[in-house]
Amino acid sequence: MTDTGADGAAARLPGLLLVTGGAGFIGSAVVEQALGRGWRVRVLDSLRADVHGGAPALDERVDFVHGDVRDADVVDAALIGVDAVCHQAAKVGLGVDFQDAPDYVSSNELGTAVVLAAMDRAGIDRLVVASSMVVYGEGSYRTRDGSTERPAPRRIADLDAGVFDPRDESGDLLEPQLIAEDAPLDPRNVYAITKLTQEHLSTSWARSTGGRAAALRYHNVYGPGMPQNTPYAGVASLFRSALERGEAPRVFEDGAQRRDFVHVRDIASANLAALEWTAEQQPDTFRAFNVGSGAVHTIGEMAAALAREAGGPEPVVTGEYRAGDVRHVTASSARLRDELDWEPGVTFEQGMREFATAPLRAAVTG
């Protein structure tokens, strides 16, 4: 283990990092930056067929362990000699239907519990866990009188009628605003519930073992290497794949949904900043951080930017909706900037220009 002496200097030196899910979209970006910062890296990944379309191309410096985070024996072996864990392994995205619920709960909740229990056995006290903006549910809104309101889930009757924006009790539109980490949490689908449970488990682990944990609430992540055709892929990947097929991106609702699109390289740099932060904290510490670009754009704007940069057909606004989706959720990343001295490095314009022609992860065939 890395010495955490009184001066804290040794604690900040990179050691051996375990990245669960390190062969995936975000995990592989974390691995690349960790290697660049001097960490030795071990990856534990199950290479799930519904995520990976082929064998991953891992850096030759990576020690790769093929296995599932739900297998305690595998996790115990993967943790030998490890100084810190970056837990990215999870089933992601809004499920196709409720039949996905057992897989989400098993993969995300049980998997996290197994990893944390193994860390306790191994005496490892530093954790960064991938969380998500979905723990908030609907975003934060301002009423006409200036107060803050978190609206209830949208009614199906309103969505059927094309009324997409949340309103107050008198029928007035609510004004979207940035959401901070101290906002009430309101997960509204199975995936969101499992991400919040991962945070709760990490909090309990820190309290019980004296560990230090940071939960990074990712906003809408995009970038090279996104999954190409899985039904759980993010909207950026779906738009990008449509353009590659010569088809117009299909934008749900009216396209005015507000999001914070953050590049995967910035997500990775936030993970490295959080790893350094865990080396400097007192025992029994848990802290959640939003990770966003700080720039608000609509889903329609993103689709239009990708189409323009790719030279493809203009997006089609369909009016369709998914009942589990929220209307507006955008991040305040002030805590991450102020406490971890982190700044995003990729603007929306730069990111869209690159992503329009960037390679995606190989297609899932099974």
* pLDDT category of residue 276 using cuts at 50, 70 and 90: very high
Averaged pLDDT, 307-322: 96
8: pLDDT strictly greater than 50: no
Of residues 173 and 211, which shows the higher confidence score? 211
Residues 146-160 pLDDT 10s? 899 888 888 899 999
Q: What is the pTM of this model?
A: 0.92
* pLDDT category of residue 317 using cuts at 50, 70 and 90: very high
* pLDDT category of residue 326 using cuts at 50, 70 and 90: confident
Of residues 323 and 132, which shows the higher confidence score? 132
Do the beta carbons of residue 35 and residue 78 sit within 8 Å? Answer: no
CATH fold of the domain at 16-139+179-356: Rossmann fold (3.40.50)
Amino acid at 47: L
Averaged pLDDT, 279-288: 96
Q: For the ranges 6-15, 52-61, 165-174, 308-317, which has the lowest average pLDDT?
A: 6-15
- pLDDT reported for residue 363: 62
What is the b/e burial string over 280-318, where b = at least 16 CB atoms within 10 angstroms of the residue's CB? ebeeebbbbbbbbbbebbbbbbbbbbbbebbebeebebe
- Give 65's strand partners: 44
Annotated catalytic residue 191: yes
9: pLDDT strictly greater than 80: no
Average pLDDT, the chain: 91
* pLDDT category of residue 365 using cuts at 50, 70 and 90: low
CA 127/CA 215 separation, integer angstroms? 8
CA 172/CA 335 separation, integer angstroms? 31
* pLDDT category of residue 53 using cuts at 50, 70 and 90: low
**Among 104, 191, 222, 321, which one carries the catalytic annotation?**
191
359: pLDDT strictly greater than 50: yes
**Percentage of the chain with pLDDT > 90?**
76
Averaged pLDDT, 30-42: 98
CA 239/CA 250 separation, integer angstroms? 7
- pLDDT reported for residue 197: 98
- pLDDT reported for residue 325: 83
Do the beta carbons of residue 217 and residue 181 sit within 8 Å? Answer: yes
Estimate the crossing angle of helix 348-355 against helix 299-310, to 10 degrees.
Answer: 50
CA 312/CA 244 separation, integer angstroms? 8
Residues 73-102 pLDDT 10s? 999 999 999 999 999 999 988 777 899 999
Give the H or E element holding residue 44.
strand 40-45
- pLDDT reported for residue 12: 54
Of residues 1 and 122, which shows the higher confidence score? 122
Q: Give the position of tokens 């057992």.
A: 102
304: pLDDT strictly greater than 60: yes
Report strand pairing: 297-298 vs 258-259. Answer: antiparallel
Q: Could you tell me the two tokens for 143?
A: 């009423």
- The three-state secondary structure class of 303 is helix
Do the beta carbons of residue 292 and residue 262 sit within 8 Å? Answer: yes
The set of residues, in sequence order, having a beta carbon less than 8 Å from that of 137 and lying 6+ positions away, is 150, 153, 185, 186, 187, 188, 192, 326, 329
Estimate the crossing angle of helix 235-244 against helix 299-310, to 10 degrees.
Answer: 30
- pLDDT reported for residue 227: 82
CA 308/CA 249 separation, integer angstroms? 11
